[in-house]
Amino acid sequence: MKLWQKETSTNEKIDHFTVGNDRNYDLILAPYDCIASKAHAKMLGKIGLLEKEEVENLCKALDTIQKTAEQGDFIIEKEFEDMHSKIEFLLTEKLGDLGKKIHTARSRNDQVLVALQLYVKSELTQVKKELIKLFHLLLDLAERHQNDLLPGYTHMQVAMPSSFGLWFSAYAESLIDDVVFLNAAHQLANQNPLGSAAGFGSSFPIDREMTTQDLEFDTLKYNVVAAQMGRGKIEKVTATAIGMLGSTLAKLAMDICLYMGQDFDFIHFPEELTTGSSIMPHKKNPDVFELIRGKCNLLQGLPQQLALLTSNLPSGYHREMQLAKGPLIEAFQEIKACLEMMHFSLSKIDVRKNITEDTKYDYLFSVDTLNEWVKGGMPFREAYQKMGRDIAAGSYIPKRELDHNHQGSIGNLQLEAIRKKMKTLTD
């Protein structure tokens, strides 16, 4: 059954091509379609298009379908085009003609819009929860290892002293930037499109403020054409937020892969978090982190993919918008899995002590050494040239005692300030 179908049947090949994998993705969106349908039914009751008892019966039946969907038992057979047609069929099967009334004053266009936006809001909230868990773990690790020095690199060359405290808290503060993007996506999705129907509103006297409040949207997408134009934009903004977070996780995963290598040997993980080689018994491969890096790098390409999909479309609905649904749902699944695995793995990290005592890291301290000369009155450029001569002559003696105390430096990580900055965005 198709909501748009009249008397003639659709060619099976056309049906397969146009529906694609949409039924599988609709299994995830179905609970949100039920939530929106309940709000719609209550609104129809308020404006007199449904009786009170009819509203109650519809909502009760929708509760049952929603529970079935949430438990993973909802099925969309091939004779149904999507979740909308299957849900309406179930309502009609149970309630007779009353089930056919649920589609009054709405279209599949605003149905899928509101279900997708409710889903996006929920998923963004879940991603933020996982992100915040990782954020707190990183700050806890920073506090625990704030005095454990780590070589800092630029151009992959030994540069200046860093610390595990600085490294862990750097990624923690970077996650705050990612929350800004997640919040922006949430704000865009938090505008109720229900009531825009096919994109041109309805002649029924619907109450869109009521459904906005019932569905806990912050505001209404007032212009019905603008509501339809949000399709594609919301997916792109959400994909951008996921991609930004993916960038942070990919970079962290890359650092971990480097630091686990024998040439660095800065960190270790339990054997159960690594994999071996089929022929090299000494190998402990960072497969978990390589996959996080790869998955998150692919997620960074999603905004461009969606931009190409929706480029140069005029206003109104177009069928290719359907193709944005799957990649977005899969992106949420991937980023949540990567966050969860990063948190699980980092909770078991083992940090090596006294790394910078090795003489191969002597040059890390050249800047601190020449800075001492500057503090003693020597002009910086002269101190810089003297250090260069000492290194060339082999007479350089590193000063390993560090005095970094400005805000955000090795000796003053400002962990509490970073916590407060995150709190302002997540309360």
CATH class of 108-145+163-355: mainly alpha
The band of 280, judged by pLDDT with boundaries at 50, 70 and 90, is: low
- Strand (E) or helix (H) holding 122: helix 108-144
Residue 282 pLDDT exceeds 80: no
CATH superfamily entry for domain 12-103: Fumarase/aspartase (N-terminal domain) (1.10.275.10)
Q: Give the pLDDT score at 81.
A: 85
pLDDT value of residue 61: 97
Residue 137: its pLDDT value, please?
98
29 compared with 262, residue with greater pLDDT: 29
CA distance 224 to 139: 45
Going by C-alpha positions, the residue among 426, 423, 422 that lies closest to residue 176 is: 422
Helix or strand (DSSP H, E) at 350: strand 350-351
Tokens of 83: 């979740």
- Per-residue pLDDT band for 339 (boundaries 50, 70, 90) equals very high
Give the Cα separation of 30 and 255 in Å (integer): 40
Buried b (16+ CB within 10 A) or exposed e, 291-319: ebbebbbebbebbebbeebbeeeeeebee
Q: How confident is the model at residue 347 (pLDDT cuts 50, 70, 90)?
A: very high
The CA radius of gyration of the chain, in Å to the nearest whole number, is 28
- Across the range 407-415, mean pLDDT stands at 94
- Average pLDDT over the chain reads 92
Of the pLDDT bands very low, low, confident and very high (cuts 50, 70, 90), residue 399 is confident
205-214: pLDDT as tens digits: 999 999 999 9
Whole-number pLDDT of residue 86:
94
Is the pLDDT assigned to residue 3 strictly greater than 60? Answer: no
The model's pLDDT over 30-46, given as tens digits with 9 standing for 90+, comes to 999 999 999 999 999 99
pLDDT higher than threshold 90 for residue 17:
no
Q: Does pLDDT of 126 surpass 60? A: yes
The stretch 95-104 carries a mean pLDDT of 95
Domains 12-103 and 108-145+163-355 share a fold: no
Q: What is the pLDDT of residue 272?
A: 82
Residue 189 tokens read as 């999705």
* pLDDT of 4 over the 50 cut: no
Highest mean pLDDT among 151-160, 246-255, 279-288: 246-255
Judge whether residue 316 has pLDDT over 90. Answer: no
pLDDT at 283 over 80: no
Q: What is the mean pLDDT of residues 283-300?
A: 91
When pLDDT is averaged across residues 221-228 and rounded to a whole number, the result is 93
Per-residue pLDDT averaged across 367-374, rounded? Answer: 93
Is the pLDDT confidence value at 176 over 60?
yes
What does residue 202 show for φ and ψ, rounded to 5 degrees? -150, 155
CA distance 241 to 331: 11
CA–CA–CA angle 84, 305, 334 (5° rounding): 70
Q: What residues form DSSP beta bridges with 219?
A: 191
The arithmetic mean of pLDDT across residues 247-251, rounded, is 98
Taking 70 as the threshold, does the pLDDT of residue 8 lie above it? no
What does the domain layout of the chain look like in residue ranges? 12-103, 108-145+163-355, 359-426
